[in-house]
Structure 1
Amino acid sequence: MGIKSQSRKKSIHLMLVYTGGCNGCDIEIVNTVLSPKFDIEQYNVYLTWNPREADVLVVSGPVTYWTKEPLLKIYESIPNPKFVVAVGACALTGGVYKNIHGELPSEEIEGPVDNVIPVDAKIPGCAVRPEDVVAGVVSLLPIIQELKD
């Protein structure tokens, strides 16, 4: 086994995808991943922008008409086993982008993330708390490590 394979086996790589919304959850996710205060790297979790290196896809915002296809392409590019974490009220339910009847306008918003791709962990909030992002991602670590071994 090569050095790259061995090191990848012991670490988890997250890829962030924003699919629409106000960016409130994105700010908190980036704060979680890049800030020394929350230090998600202590769990051997790292950020990547390459889907072929990702283990976990972290998605925020409701899936819009314009982001559905790119999201599907990114999801398909991630090698198996892959996991998806939906972050924030918009990613889970459509959030404030529902109309007055509580329905999503289908011509603009495709809906929550699990309408488009399977979701393994859901982190509620508007905007999410960094502590909850850490807890949600860390909850997947034993499953991911077991599958990687």
Structure 2
Amino acid sequence: MSLKSYSRARAVHVMLVYTGGCNGCDIEIVNCILSPKYDAEQYKVFLTWNPREADVLVVTGPVTKHVEAPLKAIYESIPEPKAVVAAGACATMGGVYKNIHGDIPSEEIAGPVDQIIPVDAKVPGCAVRPEDVLSGVVSALPLLLNAK
């Protein structure tokens, strides 16, 4: 068993990427990992800011054109196996940044996360509930733990 697979079986490192929007989802995600109420760290779910350490990429906000290329670069920097969770209404479908006809304005927003990088789990809400974020991360774990 390699060191990476040994570590992965005992801890999950989550990287949070903000791609636009109001930051409401980011606050709730950090709350569920770091606050004493939810304390995901007791279950060995850790927040990291280094894509080379990440197992799960959690993306919030609609992907603006400004961050489209950096998001792809971060995704490519995460070692396999990896999972992506789109958190919040903006990340899953464009949220309030969609225009009145239902499509995303191309001059500012590149699209929801699944139009930019592959998404393994979607967490709805505006802002997301911490319980739902944890559930989304847990739903992505089989992709990591069953990979060889």
Where does residue 91 of structure 2 map in the other structure?
A: 91
The 3-state SS of whatever aligns with 1:141 is helix
Q: RMSD between aligned alpha carbons?
A: 1.6
1:75 aligns with 2:105: no
The 3-state SS of whatever aligns with 2:106 is coil
Contact 2:83–2:143, Cα closer than 8 Å, also in 1: no
Cα separation, partners in 2 of 1:25 and 1:76, compared to 1, 3 Å = same
Aligned sequence identity (%)? 72
Q: Number of residue pairs matched?
A: 148
Contact 1:29–1:130, Cα closer than 8 Å, also in 2: yes
Distance 2:3 2:145 in 1: 17
Deviation for aligned residue 1:2: 7.3
Distance 2:56 2:88 in 1: 16
Amino acid at match of 1:100: I
Where does residue 114 of structure 1 map in the other structure?
A: 114
Contact 1:19–1:67, Cα closer than 8 Å, also in 2: yes
The C-alpha deviation readout for 1:104-129, integer Å capped at 9, x for no partner, is 11010011000000000000000000
Distance 2:109 2:33 in 1: 27
Distance 1:13 1:106 in 2: 33
Deviation for aligned residue 1:3: 6.3
Where does residue 136 of structure 1 map in the other structure?
A: 136
Amino acid at match of 2:114: D
Amino acid at match of 1:128: V
Deviation for aligned residue 1:21: 0.3
Q: TM-score, normalised by structure 1?
A: 0.92
Distance 1:136 1:2 in 2: 27
Structure 2 unaligned segments of length 5 or more: list them. none
Where does residue 36 of structure 2 map in the other structure?
A: 36
Amino acid at match of 2:119: V
The C-alpha deviation readout for 1:38-95, integer Å capped at 9, x for no partner, is 1112322111110001010000000000010110000000000011000000000000
The 3-state SS of whatever aligns with 1:67 is helix
Deviation for aligned residue 1:4: 7.0
Q: TM-score, normalised by structure 2?
A: 0.93
Structure 1 unaligned segments of length 5 or more: list them. none
Contact 1:14–1:57, Cα closer than 8 Å, also in 2: yes
Distance 2:55 2:127 in 1: 24
Distance 1:101 1:56 in 2: 33
Amino acid at match of 1:73: A
Cα separation, partners in 2 of 1:117 and 1:4, compared to 1, 3 Å = closer
Distance 2:121 2:13 in 1: 16
